Amino acid sequence: MPHDMSVETPAAATRTLKNIAIFCGSNTGLGDAFKDAAAQLGATLARRGIGIVYGGTHKGLMGILANAALAEGGHVHGVITRRLFERDHLHPTLSLHEIVEGMRARKERMLTLADACIALPGGIGTTEEFMEAWTLNQLGDIDKPVGLLNVGGYFDAFMAFVDTMIAQRFLPPEHRAGIALAPDADGLIDQLQVFRKPTVAKWL
């Protein structure tokens, strides 16, 4: 009788995500879709027992995210710059907050506290924070997966630009998979939990 030669593919190891750093706009954007997505993400993280690390303000999507998580009993840790704190931008009811001297220190502290990173729609600050985290993963300085919550196709143009980097041979194609992408909170968190870093070198 012939032997069964099939080999089961091992399931991807699940990462423990105790805290996720969230980068998002200090404005709310156009319409309700971005506000609804921020609230959904905050509530979903709280229900799944995952803490939030974010910029500490009550403004824009950042405030909506924090409010939704806190309403569900979630843990929200704010890291705010002294300049913004002195302008009364600190969210008043966070689980925990700390004040740092500037943006560089805030980014470093948030990455230290987090096991993964998610970017919601936002402006240049959000984009810069996300790109730094993606870059540090690519270089091997950290192993903390990054993901984009692609609300209404907001990040489609960004991913098209990544494809241009690949087409023009500034980025190995495997590193496109270094970004998790999903339109909903649960789907994105699920991807981050089983994320595997690309193992090819960054140099072509």
> Tell me: the pLDDT tens digits for 163-195?
999 999 999 999 999 999 999 999 999 999 999
203 is a domain residue: no
Q: What pLDDT does residue 13 have?
A: 76
Work out whether the CA dihedral 114, 118, 120, 121 comes out positive or negative: positive
Q: Return the closest-CA partner of residue 82 out of 59, 65, 106.
A: 106
Structural domain range at position 110: 19-193
Give pTM, 2 decimals: 0.91
- Greatest Cα pair distance, the chain, in angstroms, is 78
13 in any annotated domain: no
Would you say residue 5 has pLDDT above 50?
no
Give yes or no for a contact between 175 and 131, defined as CB atoms under 8 angstroms apart.
no
pLDDT band at residue 12 under the 50/70/90 scheme? low
For 46-98, what is each residue's pLDDT tens digit? 999 999 999 999 999 999 999 999 999 999 999 999 999 999 999 999 999 99
Establish if 14 belongs to a structural domain.
Answer: no
The answer to whether residue 74 sits within a structural domain is yes
Helix (H, G, I), strand (E, B) or coil at 48: coil
Whether residue 9 lies inside any domain: the answer is: no
**Residue 156, domain member (yes or no):** yes
Residue 26 lies in a domain: yes
Within a domain: 179: yes
- The domain spanning residue 119 has which CATH number? 3.40.50.450
- Give me the sign of the Cα torsion angle 107, 89, 76, 194: negative
Q: How many domains does the chain have?
A: 1
105-137 pLDDT, tens digit each? 999 999 999 999 999 999 999 999 999 999 999
